[in-house]
Each structure stands twice: as C-alpha cells, then as structure tokens.
C-alpha cells in the first residue's frame, strides 16, 4: 500500500472517529475547505453547502457519538482524489457508503459523502475502525 | 458554464439515457475503462469489479429500460474528476445519487455510482433528462 492510499484510509478512519465520538471540531476538520463539498445522508436529500453540511452533523451528533463501525473500507486513489467505499455498521443496521477525498495541501479532505441502506452486510471478522472491540 | 462542466452533465445524461432506454452497450460505454470503478445500488452492497458492475446492469435492464428521470443534477468539476449529484425519480419513488466521472482522453467516464432512497423530492419543475415530457 503506498503512502497516498494509506493516507486516504487514515482520513476515512478520522471521519468515522469523529462520527463515533461525536467530535464536531474533528468532523469540521475532516471536510474540505478549499474544494466544494456535498453530502447525502440516508433518506435525507442532497446538501450542497458546507455550512448546511456542518449543521446536519451538528444535529446528528447533538446527543454525542453514535455506535458506528466502518467495515471493508476500500480506497481507489488517483491524482488528486480518492474514492473510499465501505460499510457502516450502525447498531443493528448496515449502510453502504461513498467517501470522496481530495488533496488539500498534504492532507486528504472529504469532498463528498453518501450513505444508504444495504441489505448485504460484511462478515463480522471484517469490522474495522476505532469503536470496534 | 464552462466546457468541462457541460461535458460532465452530458455524461450524466448519457448514463440516465442508457438506464431509461435499457441500452446495455451505451451503459457499457458510460463507464470508465482505464480507471477502477465501483457501484453501490440501492440496498444492495458494494461492487468493486467492472465485470460484476456490468452484470448488475444486465440484470437491472434485462426487461428493458426503467421509467427513470434525473432531476436537479449539479456538477462540481475539478482537475480530472467531476462529482455530479442528482435525484432519480423512479416511478413513484425518489432516490438521491452520487455520480463520479473521470477524464479518459477527452471524455468524462463514470468511475463510481451510488443511489439510495430519499424522502426529499425535487419540485416537479426541476425534472430533467431524456424521459421527461
């Protein structure tokens, strides 16, 4: 795994860390500042504005972090952007997610996120991420 | 709107044209060949292999095109890639979609697609695409 590939997966982990711990400042830091950003939460329309995306996370995390685990994260890295796909295990539910990262300086920052329900679940052994025991 | 922006929206229209007409050859042409591709159909896991993605479209379109309309397509174009978000009006249902395009030669080709259910619907006036009357 080359450095960019590992760094894209690290940025993906940082997103789920912020999500699981309810750390809004960390969530704010995950998202791109120089690039346009967009976000599609499950069953909840399309958000195309950074301030509105941050408001949505404020609402999602207002009672603290969620019991969320990332699994089977796969990164495809190209010049200047990386597509990470993964499952999100959220309580008893399972979502499939798209996380698009762009290079800002030397860091990968989130430019787009979509998550939606998935009937297919990863095997338990494939659980990854900060909240896994 | 600059040329790349218009071309990305044109590529997005070509995707929904192939979807609406059930044209598998056109769907095959929409997807990138040199770049790795991935696809997340609604409620149906993550596909990371081009042949498997094409098999999935073969199954979806085996009885012909679907009554699908694209609405509120928005393109964000960067060097070498474009993120298009839109709603998919599918019969009485509504999905929100991520369509990621990459430059292959002079053409924008689809590198990633995700669609998932959306409770938010666009206004009827915002309907776009080939199947709109």
| C-beta pairs of A45-49 under 8 Å, 24+ apart in sequence | A45/B96, A45/B118, A45/B119, A45/B120, A46/B72, A46/B74, A46/B85, A46/B86, A46/B87, A46/B96, A46/B118, A46/B120, A48/B74, A48/B85
Q: Is the pLDDT of residue B95 over 50?
A: yes
Q: How far apart are the first and last CA of chain A?
A: 25
How does pLDDT run along chain A (133 residues), one tens digit per residue? 699 999 999 999 999 999 999 999 999 999 999 999 999 999 989 999 999 999 999 999 999 999 999 999 999 999 889 999 999 999 889 999 999 999 999 999 999 999 999 998 897 765 555 544 3
pLDDT at B124: 72
- Would an 8 Å CB–CB cutoff place B34 in contact with chain A? no
Joined together, the tokens standing for residue A104 give 């800002």
Q: What is the pTM of this model?
A: 0.92
How far apart are alpha carbons A62 and A24 in whole angstroms?
9
Task: Give the closest-approach CA distance of A18 to chain B in angstroms.
Answer: 23
How far apart are alpha carbons A108 and A100 in whole angstroms?
9
- Would an 8 Å CB–CB cutoff place B123 in contact with chain A? no
Q: Angle at the Cα of A102 (from A35 to A122), degrees rounded to 5?
A: 125
CB A14 within 8 A of CB B89: no
Q: Write out pLDDT tens, residues B38-57.
A: 999 999 899 999 999 999 99
**B39 SS3 class:** strand
pLDDT at B129: 54
Which residue in B45, B97, B119 is closest to A96 by CB distance?
Answer: B45
User: pLDDT grade, residue B132 (50/70/90)?
Assistant: very low
Q: Is the pLDDT of residue B58 over 80?
A: yes
Q: Write out pLDDT tens, residues A30-52.
A: 999 999 999 999 998 999 999 99
Task: Give the closest-approach CA distance of B120 to chain A in angstroms.
Answer: 5
Q: Is the pLDDT of residue B76 over 90?
A: yes
pLDDT at B111: 98
pLDDT at A1: 66
Tell if the CB–CB gap between A118 and B72 is shorter than 8 Å: no
CB B112 within 8 A of CB B98: yes
- The conformational region for residue A60 under phi > 0 = left, psi -120 to 50 = alpha, else beta, is alpha
Tell if the CB–CB gap between A81 and B76 is shorter than 8 Å: no
pLDDT at B29: 98
CB A90 within 8 A of CB A109: no
Partners of B90 on chain A (C-beta within 8 Å) are none
Q: Write out pLDDT tens, residues B19-42.
A: 999 999 999 999 999 999 999 999
pLDDT at B79: 85
- Would an 8 Å CB–CB cutoff place B93 in contact with chain A? no
Q: Is the pLDDT of residue B75 over 50?
A: yes
User: pLDDT grade, residue B18 (50/70/90)?
Assistant: very high
- Would an 8 Å CB–CB cutoff place A56 in contact with chain B? no
Q: Which helix (H) or strand (E) holds A9?
A: helix A3-21
Task: Give the closest-approach CA distance of A23 to chain B in angstroms.
Answer: 26
How far apart are alpha carbons B28 and B15 in whole angstroms?
10
Joined together, the tokens standing for residue B99 give 């369509």
Residue-wise DSSP of A75-86: EEEETTEEEEEE
């Amino acid at each position: 795994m080359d450095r960019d590939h590992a760094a894209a997966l690290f940025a993906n982990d940082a997103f789920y860390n912020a999500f699981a711990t309810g750390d809004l400042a960390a969530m704010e830091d995950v998202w791109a500042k120089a690039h346009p950003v967009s976000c599609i939460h499950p069953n909840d329309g399309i958000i195309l504005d950074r301030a509105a995306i941050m408001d949505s996370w404020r609402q999602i995390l207002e009672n603290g972090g969620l019991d969320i685990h990332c699994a089977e994260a796969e990164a495809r890295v190209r010049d200047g952007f990386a597509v990470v796909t993964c499952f999100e295990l959220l309580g008893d539910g399972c979502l499939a997610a798209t996380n698009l990262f762009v290079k800002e300086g030397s860091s990968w920052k989130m430019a787009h996120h979509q998550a939606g329900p998935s009937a297919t679940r990863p095997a338990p052994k494939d659980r990854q991420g900060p909240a896994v025991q």
